[in-house]
């Protein structure tokens, strides 16, 4: 009888679906709280953190809550360290929807540039001629809710000397959203393009690159303890076409500032 029982147990183990053994849990703040409440040793918890898939919230308020729940300082430090490693790998500008889901805004390359010289010609070069850069299509792919305009900026803070990639050099060369400007794009629906003023020129002072600060839309910036920046507009934004544009004028490692991070507000 004992032999039959043993054979039955072995057969169950052998025939058990492999997915059971391969299940991977994602550790969250609640997972850590539960492990501490169940009496797990802190060294075991730290080891679990270092060898698991994690999705921790390490904002200042959350860290205070963890401390109040008697989570040891060593465990909290481990959570912050693992979160920081994940943050470094992510760079760019992300729209945050109402479900707190991040939608990456990819850079859109200018399709052309033109200089409007009428005002300059009429004033014999005294008035500046505006330099306009155009973007194909009258609408951006990324859709932003006009009642929920919030963005996150991730910058590459690593000290590695690896070359800058053309699709993220802004976030290696810069350190704050203050180095970007948010502007509304002028739309030409008939010819299917959008445009932005990217400079000015006249006969006396030459050319000057960059977006005029007068056309900028003001926004507030906050930074959490992990280095993530959150950007929100100071006033309500009407539906339309907008973008973030890098205010710097110098090219970095061979990359020129020829793109915008565009989005549609509805």
The model's pLDDT over 78-87, given as tens digits with 9 standing for 90+, comes to 998 887 666 5
Distance CA(149)–CA(96), nearest Å, equals: 8
Percent of all residues in the chain with a pLDDT value above 70, rounded to a whole number: 73
Residue among 59, 144, 57 nearest 95 (CA): 144
DSSP 43-71: HHHHHHHHTSEE-----HHHHHHHHHTT-
CB 177 within 8 A of CB 221: yes
**Spatial CA neighbour of 192 closest among 140, 260, 265, 263:** 140
Q: Across the chain, what does the average pLDDT equal?
A: 80
Computed over its alpha carbons, how large is the radius of gyration of the chain? 26
Residue 19 is predicted with a pLDDT of 40
Is the CB of residue 116 less than 8 Å from the CB of residue 175?
no
| Phi, psi of 122, deg, nearest 5 | -65, -25
For residues 91 and 175, what is the distance between their CA atoms, to the nearest angstrom?
11
Pairing state of beta strands 26-27 and 53-54? parallel
The predicted structure's pLDDT at residue 20? 36
Q: What is the pLDDT of residues 98-111, one digit of tens each?
A: 988 999 999 999 99
User: Is the separation of the CB atoms in 115 and 201 below 8 Å?
Assistant: yes
Averaged over 50-67, what is the pLDDT? 88
Nearest 5 degrees, angle CA 85-CA 87-CA 93? 160
Alpha carbons 248 and 180: distance in angstroms, whole number = 8
What pLDDT does 209 receive? 60
What is d(CA 189, CA 166) in angstroms, rounded to the nearest whole number? Answer: 30
């Amino acid at each position: 009888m004992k032999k039959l029982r043993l054979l039955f147990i072995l057969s169950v183990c052998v025939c058990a679906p492999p997915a059971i053994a391969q299940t991977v849990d994602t550790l969250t703040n609640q997972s850590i709280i539960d492990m501490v409440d169940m009496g797990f040793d802190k060294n075991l918890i730290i080891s679990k953190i270092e060898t698991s898939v994690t999705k921790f919230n390490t904002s200042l308020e959350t860290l205070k809550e963890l401390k109040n729940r008697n989570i040891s300082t060593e465990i909290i430090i481990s959570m912050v360290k693992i979160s920081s490693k994940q943050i470094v790998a992510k760079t760019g500008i992300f729209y945050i929807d109402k479900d707190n889901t991040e939608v990456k805004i990819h850079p859109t390359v200018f399709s052309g540039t033109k200089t409007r010289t009428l005002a300059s010609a009429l004033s014999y070069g005294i008035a500046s001629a505006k330099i306009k850069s155009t973007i194909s299509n009258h609408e951006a792919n990324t859709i932003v809710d006009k009642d929920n305009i919030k963005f996150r900026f991730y910058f590459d803070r690593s000290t590695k000397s690896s070359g800058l990639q053309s699709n993220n050099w802004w976030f290696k060369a810069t350190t704050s959203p203050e180095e970007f400007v948010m502007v509304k794009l002028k739309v030409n629906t008939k010819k299917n393009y959008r445009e932005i003023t990217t400079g000015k020129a006249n006969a006396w002072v030459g050319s000057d690159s960059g977006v005029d600060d007068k056309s900028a839309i003001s926004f507030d910036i906050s930074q959490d303890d992990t280095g993530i920046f959150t950007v929100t507009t100071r006033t309500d934004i009407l539906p339309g076409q907008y973008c973030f544009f890098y205010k710097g004028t110098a090219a970095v490692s061979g990359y020129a500032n020829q793109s915008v991070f565009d989005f549609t507000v509805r």
